[in-house]
Structure 1
Amino acid sequence: MKLLALLLTPLGLLLRRKRAGGAHSIRNAPELATSTSLELTSPSFAPGGTIPLRHATMDLGPNISPALAWSDPPAGTTRMLLVLEDTDVPIARPARHMVAFFGPEPAHIGEGDLTADNPRFTYLPVHRGRTGYQGPRPLPGHGVHHYTFHLYALDTEPAGNSLDDLLPRLAGHVLASGHLEGTLRG
């Protein structure tokens, strides 16, 4: 067992019943509500399946973003919003691992493309000001965590310093959404 896991496992076991839960997930934000769906898939894992460790971060894996693909967005789409979220963290709200904006074409992202220096993507900072893909890393001993990629087709150019700052400006501008959930055991 690696040293970090050895040190954090007792904390994970102690907090095992504490979970942020889905109630505060970005998926439930009224500003992002839409009745039109996008199909979001990955060749790396099936919906609801285990995310391979190559897509995990810190001591678990090399933090390589998975390939993602989606159905054609509706006419009028000018930007896409992609959020990676963990709803099982032992804090009050889900943890956002990544927030990225990009153009709607092409309708896929290659494996490893979600890097901070890739000019295709504009990132908003997440935990500790990090940008780019921050892969799954559940607290050791905490059990299964659910990680969801949320994809939104927008008809506007978003502007803001954080997703919370941006949400009110996105109301009425979401044309479609798609969601892909994977799991990883801590």
Structure 2
Amino acid sequence: MAILGKLLKNRRAGDHGLAWHLPNLAAEATFEVNSPDFTHESPLPEVHASKRIGGRDVSPALAWTAPDGAAQLLLVVEDPDAPTGLPFVHCVALLEPTLTELPRDALRADDPAPGVSILRSGFGHGYRGPAPIKGHGPHRYAFQLFALTEPITTVGGKPAAKAKPREVFSAAQAVARGRIDGFYERP
């Protein structure tokens, strides 16, 4: 597996493909997103990594102060260093606008925290921890939070929970956004 990582070393989706850069989500207003589990641009603890590689798929705790008047919050976790055409989507969730924090492990598909609606991601539903290809180098995980002007209940005539991640991103309109990035590299 390390050989594959080395072969794909220079192939990465890139920052430009993140939800953060979509015109409808690229709000000028920003707010801070923090975590007691990691600081911005620092390594993610192993507990937050995928079970496939020895982690526990536990989503990190997050806290923020979104602007007043948000109708809903959209949380998107993406890996722009994945060797794919677009960043790999690790989690998508809609949050009640009154929430100001998520406890650790709040993004479980089978038991999300109150006020959290889990949507489809790259592999099913719920938080999927980092599992970069061995030998591919460090991967960045962008935890992006968008304050939306209108709540999303349906996308293209189907329930939001059944929509593909990029369909949800296209249906959203942000008034403000915040972000915290963590890194993970397989030993």
Tell me the TM-score normalised to structure 2 length: 0.88
2:78 is paired with a residue whose SS is: strand
1:54 is paired with a residue whose SS is: helix
Check whether the contact 2:107–2:118 (CA below 8 A) recurs between aligned residues: no
* Aligned twin of 2:14: 21
Structure 2 CA distance for aligned equivalents of residues 66 and 181 of structure 1: 11
**Equivalent position amino acid for 1:87 in 2:** P
* Aligned twin of 1:157: 151
* Aligned twin of 1:4: none
Check whether the contact 1:89–1:138 (CA below 8 A) recurs between aligned residues: yes
Residue ranges of structure 2 left out of the alignment (5+ in a row): 156-162
Structure 1 CA distance for aligned equivalents of residues 30 and 37 of structure 2: 21
Matched, 1:133 2:127: yes
2:54 is paired with a residue whose SS is: coil
Structure 1 CA distance for aligned equivalents of residues 87 and 108 of structure 2: 22
1:131 is paired with a residue whose SS is: coil
Matched, 1:122 2:124: no
Tell me the TM-score normalised to structure 1 length: 0.89
Matched, 1:35 2:37: no
User: Deviations along 1:94-146, whole A, 9 cap, x unmatched?
Assistant: 10000000102230000111111325322221223x11111111111100101
Of 55-64 and 142-151, more deviation after overlay is shown by 55-64
The runs of 4+ residues in structure 1 deviating greater than 6 Å are: none
Residue ranges of structure 1 left out of the alignment (5+ in a row): 1-7
User: Deviations along 1:80-101, whole A, 9 cap, x unmatched?
Assistant: 1000000001111110000000
Query: How large is the RMSD of aligned CA atoms in angstroms?
Result: 1.3
Cα offset, 1:175, TM superposition: 1.6
* Aligned twin of 1:179: 179
Of 105-114 and 80-89, more deviation after overlay is shown by 105-114
- Between the aligned residues of both structures, percent identity stands at 34
Matched, 1:54 2:34: no
